């Protein structure tokens, strides 16, 4: 948007009543919010692949699972 167009819009805004200005601001905020929601990048669960793998290094998974299951019985 050119500086001229921006100042033209701002000038028109200043000519509105206070109530009209408030309503216009609310409408603009709603448009921006909808735009943010629809343009939000989609994330994938696959982005977590390998996260924290260093925690499990050197641990026998089968033994760990067996110990956890045994702990359920008390």
36-68 pLDDT, tens per residue?
777 667 788 898 999 998 998 999 999 999 999
pLDDT at 25: 96
pTM of structure: 0.47
Q: 39: helix, coil or strand?
A: coil
Q: Could you write out the DSSP letters of every residue in 38-55? A: HTPPP--GGGGTTTTGGG
DSSP letter at 16 equals S
More confident residue, 35 or 57: 57
């Amino acid at each position: 948007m050119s500086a001229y167009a921006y100042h033209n819009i701002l000038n028109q805004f200043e000519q509105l009543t206070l109530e009209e200005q408030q309503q216009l601001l609310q409408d603009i905020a709603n448009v921006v919010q909808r735009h943010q929601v629809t343009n939000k990048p989609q994330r994938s669960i696959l982005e977590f692949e390998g996260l924290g793998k260093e925690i499990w290094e050197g641990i026998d998974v089968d033994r760990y699972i067996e110990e956890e299951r045994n702990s359920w019985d008390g």
